[in-house]
Every structure is written in structure tokens, then in C-alpha cells.
Amino acid sequence: MIDLHCHLLPGMDDGPADLAASRDMAEGLYRLGFRQVFATPHLPWATPTVNVRAFRQQGEALIEDLAKLKTGLKIGLAAEHYSDLVPELLQGDDLILFPRRDTFLMEFPHGGFPARLQDLLFMAQVKKRIPVIAHVERYPEVQKDIQVLNLLKERGCYLLVNVSSLAGAWTRAAQSAAKAVLRADLADAVNSDLHHAKQIDLLEEGFGVLRELVGDAKFQQLTQENPAKIAGVEEDGLPGQVDS
């Protein structure tokens, strides 16, 4: 399986505190069946501004450290871009892109979709960049009516659902919305959004729910085929990235 959204790198955000905790996460992900993982630290984190070059250098150095632990995972660097900062990053061509070179992970404020969302999506389209929207089930608009996601899909966005939401990791509303989005075939892929190793059990439970909801063929699409397409990688390899 391929994970497009995981907070695997230590000390960069609200994920693991140190390399030992990252190793525990990586080993847990491998046991669940993940073979490729994109580390996606929050961008920015605890500051309204960001130095993209420093962010990238720190992330790549930490991936090199993880590679020495030989966990079996192939790890690539991306980022969970906060939507308020995306216009600035688009203007400067500073997004941390997936290897496909036109897709990037983006999250909205948890209180609701950002103001002037249409303008943001238009700007991304003009810049030939495709947003991959994180944990769509957690937004109030989606919890109220999943059909609001059609707007994002019409603008070319890819939509992600957290597997842990299916096991009730966040709220009942998010759990219900995640199931509804998957039943309606609106999700393009699922991911871990893992922050700590203690969440591995929730992921395992969520994968069981997912398989019951969608069946084996769709499970394969959501966990491997579609993530490979979105990231622009091979399903059985991650060219140009670091083996760990």
C-alpha cells in the first residue's frame, strides 16, 4: 500500500518527538502492509510564515536518518500545506509537490472551508497545480452534506479520507462522513494521517471497516492504484526516493 499523508518525521510538527518514535511508527505501518509512505509535515507549523528551503532540507535530512534504520518502507517528502498559505506558495512556485510534479497535499481550516475557495482553486488551476485535499470527512460542510465534495472534484481536486476516521479516531460526525464519502465513491484514496505509533491499532480497525464497505477490488484502488497515480510513482517502487 501507499500512504500519501503521514506525520512520520520527528520534531517537525505534532507528530513523533524523536527518531525512536518515528521508527515505531514506520515499523507499525510496514506491519499493516504499507510499503511506500510520504512524510507530510504541516506547512507551516506554529508560525504564520515558512522557509520552504529550510523545511525541505530538514525533511530530507530526517528521511536520511530514518533510512539508516532499515524499516522496509520507502519514504518520500511532501507536505500538508495549510490553505491560507497556498496562494503565496503558488505565486513563488514553492509548493512541496509529490513526484508527479503537479499534485500537492492541502488541508482546510477544521472550522470550515476557506473563504474565497473558488479563487484559490482557480489560482491552482492557472498554475497547473492539482490540490489533494486532506481528510475531507473532518470538515463541517462535508459532514452536513457530502455532495459539497462534487465542487472540489469538478475543479480537478483529489479527495483523501483518513482510515482511522472509520474507527472513530476523531468524532462520530467524521466517522459517519467518512463512511458516507466512501459509499458514494467520492474518495480518490485513503491514507493513515498517522501522528503516533499508538494510533496503529485504530488504523488496523479502520482497514477492516474499509474492506467491508468497499470490497477487495476498490480497497486495492484506494490504497495502492489511486495513490500511485496521484503521487506519480510506480505501485511497487518509488524511484528517486530513499529506501529505509
Q: What is the 3-state secondary structure (H, E, C) of 93-111?
A: CCCCCCCCCCEEEEECCCC
* Contact predicate 196/15, CB 8 Å: yes
List C-alpha distances in Å: 73 to 58, 63, 156, 200.
19, 11, 30, 15
For the segment 127-141, the average pLDDT, to the nearest whole number, is 98
Confidence of residue 58 (pLDDT cuts 50, 70, 90): very high
**pLDDT for the residue numbered 205:** 97
List C-alpha distances in Å: 170 to 147, 175, 195.
21, 7, 13
Confidence of residue 238 (pLDDT cuts 50, 70, 90): very low
CA angle 64, 91, 229 (to 5 degrees): 55
> How many structural domains is the chain composed of?
1
The residue that leads in pLDDT, 47 or 74, is: 74
The answer to whether residue 243 scores a pLDDT higher than 80 is no
The answer to whether residue 93 scores a pLDDT higher than 60 is yes
Domain that holds residue 204: 2-243
* Contact predicate 89/81, CB 8 Å: yes
d(CA 103, CA 105): 7
d(CA 61, CA 148): 39
Which residues 6+ apart lie within 8 Å of 233 measured at CB?
2, 36, 76, 98, 99, 100, 239
For the segment 120-142, the average pLDDT, to the nearest whole number, is 98
Query: DSSP 3-state assignment of 6?
Result: strand
* Contact predicate 51/88, CB 8 Å: no
The residue that leads in pLDDT, 240 or 186, is: 186
d(CA 125, CA 168): 34
**pLDDT for the residue numbered 46:** 77
* Contact predicate 223/190, CB 8 Å: yes
Beta strand 130-133 with 80-82 is unpaired
The answer to whether residue 242 scores a pLDDT higher than 90 is no
C-alpha cell at 109: 481550516
C-alpha cell at 105: 497535499
CATH of the domain at 159: 3.20.20.140
For the segment 190-212, the average pLDDT, to the nearest whole number, is 97
**pLDDT for the residue numbered 235:** 79
CA angle 182, 188, 191 (to 5 degrees): 85
Instruction: Calculate the average pLDDT of the chain.
Output: 94
Which residues 6+ apart lie within 8 Å of 209 measured at CB?
166, 167, 179
**pLDDT for the residue numbered 48:** 75
Confidence of residue 151 (pLDDT cuts 50, 70, 90): very high
d(CA 201, CA 43): 27
**pLDDT for the residue numbered 236:** 63
For the segment 117-126, the average pLDDT, to the nearest whole number, is 97
The answer to whether residue 244 scores a pLDDT higher than 60 is no
For the segment 186-198, the average pLDDT, to the nearest whole number, is 97
For the segment 3-27, the average pLDDT, to the nearest whole number, is 97
